[in-house]
Structure 1
Amino acid sequence: MKVLMTAAALTALVSVSNAHAVEFVAADDSHATELCMAFASDRPHIMLEAIRGQHTAKVRITNKLECNDMNLSEFAQTYSLTRTAKFMRIDIETETSIKDIAQTESTLPVVLSGSK
């Protein structure tokens, strides 16, 4: 009985945490948008595969890439992409911002485009 209750509680926690996840949709098939989609996945191994596919350095991507007209630091803070930001060595912990927790998040997908 305890196992069932624990499993139900864990399932509820996972479904609540995934309820606030943002769905990203690629605006085009450019290399920059591909990198932005990999960054938005918040999975370092996906970002690493995208970097290797582009044959470029992490530092160059961190300094030059913009997603939806935001640098990667702003983009990571806006969508809480902490795992990929840490992998790319972007420090998003030092900036302070106010987030309205009562604001309801849109369930519409975010169209994502890379640097022009």
Structure 2
Amino acid sequence: MKVLLTAALTALVSMSNAHAVEFVAADDSHATKLCMAFASDRPHVMLAAMRGQHTAKTRITTKLECNDMSLDEFAKTYSLTRNAKFMKIDLETKTSIKDIAKAEHTMPVVLSGSK
């Protein structure tokens, strides 16, 4: 059952991300499950994961780290704007230039949550 859920989450993440980044769970921890849900960039998936882990939104926003990055840094790195907005993370405070001509890599990103 867990393998099926992980495969379904991975499929959702790969379909939802416009930048063709594929996230793969590094382990089966609660933090990694929350990071996978956040990486899906689908608020309803994130909400279901929070309910399944019995965790409050404010606690996740302040404590959770994905791949040793805070959630706001993780959201900025992978352009996860929908879940950032759902989690009330402000992504518009800093200005950056993104190289759109840079070749996109489709290598899978192994995702791990905070310990």
CA distance in 2 between partners of 1:18 and 1:76 (Å): 12
Which digits, 9 at most, give the CA deviation of each residue in 1:49-99, with x for residues without a partner? 000011111000000000011000000001000000000000101211121
1:74 is aligned to: 73
Runs of 5+ consecutive residues of structure 1 not aligned to the other structure: 1-16
* TM-score, structure 2 normalization: 0.82
Larger Rg: 1
1:57 is aligned to: 56
CA distance in 1 between partners of 2:45 and 2:61 (Å): 15
2:97 is aligned to: 98
| Contact 2:72/2:91 (<8 A) preserved | yes
Deviation at 1:20, TM superposition (A): 2.5
CA distance in 2 between partners of 1:71 and 1:59 (Å): 13
Find runs of 4+ consecutive structure 1 residues off by over 2 angstroms: 17-21
The CA RMSD measured in Å over matched residues stands at 1.5
* Count of aligned pairs: 100
Query: % of aligned pairs identical?
Result: 83
CA distance in 2 between partners of 1:62 and 1:19 (Å): 23
Runs of 5+ consecutive residues of structure 2 not aligned to the other structure: 1-15
1:97 match: secondary structure: coil
